[in-house]
Chain A
Amino acid sequence: MGLSLDVFGISKSYHGQAILRDCSFSFDPGRTYALLGPNGSGKSTFLRIAALLEPPDAGQVRYLDQGVLLPPDLSLRRRITLLLPKIGVFNTSVFNNVAYGLKIRGRHASEVEARVNVVLERVGLFHKRRQNGPDLSSGETKRLGLARALILEPEVFWLDEPTANIDPKNTEIIEQIMLDMKSGGKSTIIVVTHDPAQARRLGDHLLVMEHGRIVPL
Chain B
Amino acid sequence: MHSILYGFIGAFKLIFTINAELFKIILLSVQVSGSALVIATLLGLPLGVALAWRRVPFRGLVMSLLNTGMGLPPVVVGLFLYLILSRSGPLGFFGLLYTPSAMIIAQAILVFPIVASLSHAAIVKVDPVIRQAAITLGATPFQEVMAVVREARYGIMAGVMAGLGRVMAEVGAILIVGGNIAGYTRVMTTTIALETDKGEFELAIALGIILLLIALGINVGLRFFQRHGRVRSGVILWD
Chain B residues in 8 Å Cβ range of A91: 150-151, 232-233
**In this assembly, does B135 line the interface, its C-beta being within 8 Å of a C-beta of chain A?**
yes
Pairwise interchain contact A101-B132, C-beta atoms closer than 8 A: no
**Interface size range of chain A in the complex:** 20 to 34
List residues of chain B with CB under 8 Å of any chain A CB: 127, 129-140, 143, 147, 150-151, 232-234
Which residue of chain A has its CB nearest to the CB of B146?
A104
Bound form: Cα–Cα A53–B233 in Å = 24
Q: Contact: B132 with A84, CB < 8 Å?
A: yes
A87: interface (CB < 8 Å)? yes
Please tell me which one of the listed residues A86, A134, A148 contacts residue B137 in the complex, with CB atoms under 8 A apart: A148
With A90-B150, A91-B233 known as contacts, the answer to whether A81 contacts B137 (CB < 8 A) is yes
**Residue of A with least CB distance to B151:** A91
* Whole-angstrom CA separation of A84 from B208 in the bound complex: 55
> Given the complex of chains A and B, what is the CA–CA distance between A105 and B232 in angstroms?
26
Report chain A residues within 8 Å CB of B134: 88, 100, 104
* Chain A residues proximal to chain B, CB less than 8 Å: 51, 53, 74, 77-78, 81-82, 84, 86-92, 100-101, 104-105, 132, 134, 148-149, 152
Most buried by A among B129, B138, B139, B150: B138
- Point out the residues of chain A lying under 8 angstroms from B232, CB to CB: 91, 132, 134
Contact between A88 and B233, CB atoms less than 8 A apart: no
Q: Evaluate contact between A134 and B138: CB separation under 8 angstroms.
A: no
List the 6 shortest-distance A-B pairs measured between CB atoms, nearest first.
A88-B133, A88-B129, A78-B138, A101-B137, A91-B233, A86-B129
**Chain A contact residues: over half helix, strand or loop, or mixed?**
loop
- 9 CB contacts below 8 A, A to B, read A53-B132, A74-B138, A77-B135, A78-B138, A81-B137, A87-B129, A91-B150, A104-B134, A105-B138
Q: Is the CB of A88 within 8 A of B127?
A: yes
Q: Are A84 and B136 in contact (CB under 8 A)?
A: yes
Q: Which of A74, A88, A148, A152 contacts B130 (CB 8 A)?
A: A88
CA distance A92 to B150 in the complex (A): 9
Question: With A and B bound together, what is the CA distance between A84 and B150 in angstroms?
Answer: 21
For residue A187, give the distance in angstroms from its CB to the closest CB of chain B: 15
Chain B residues with Cβ under 8 A from A88's Cβ? Answer: 127, 129-134
CB-CB under 8 A from A104, the residues of chain B are 134, 137-140, 143
**If the complex has contacts A105-B138, A134-B232, are A87 and B133 also in contact, measured as CB distance less than 8 A?**
yes
- A161 CB to closest chain B CB (Å) equals 14
In the complex, A51→B151 CA distance in Å? 25
Residues on A with beta carbons closer than 8 Å to the beta carbon of B137? 81, 100-101, 104, 148-149, 152
Least CB distance, B233 to chain A, in whole angstroms: 4
Q: How far is the CB of A60 from chain B (nearest CB, A)?
A: 21
Known: A74-B138, A90-B147, A101-B138. 10 other contacts (CB 8 A): A53-B135, A81-B136, A84-B129, A84-B133, A86-B132, A88-B132, A92-B150, A104-B138, A104-B143, A134-B233
Contacts of B150 in A (CB 8 A): 90-92
Cα–Cα, bound, A88→B150 (Å): 13
Q: Which of A51, A92, A104 has the most CB of B within 10 A?
A: A104
Within 8 Å by CB of B138, from A84, A92, A152, lies A152
The interface residues of chain A lying within 8 Å CB-to-CB of B138 are 74, 77-78, 81, 101, 104-105, 152
Q: What B residues does A100 contact at CB under 8 A? A: 134, 137, 147
Shortest beta-carbon distance, B27 to chain A, in Å?
36
Min CB distance B176 to A, Å, is 43
List residues of chain A with CB within 8 A of the CB of B132.
53, 84, 86, 88
Cβ contact within 8 Å between A82 and B233: no
Contacts of B234 in A (CB 8 A): 134
B133 and A90 within 8 A (CB): yes
Q: Which residues of A contact B135 (CB under 8 A)?
A: 53, 77
Closest to A92 in B: B150
Bound CA span A89–B136, Å:
12
B136 touches A82 (CB 8 A): yes
Q: What residue in chain B is nearest A132 (Cβ atoms)?
A: B232
In the bound complex, what is the Cα–Cα distance between A132 and B231 (angstroms)? Answer: 11
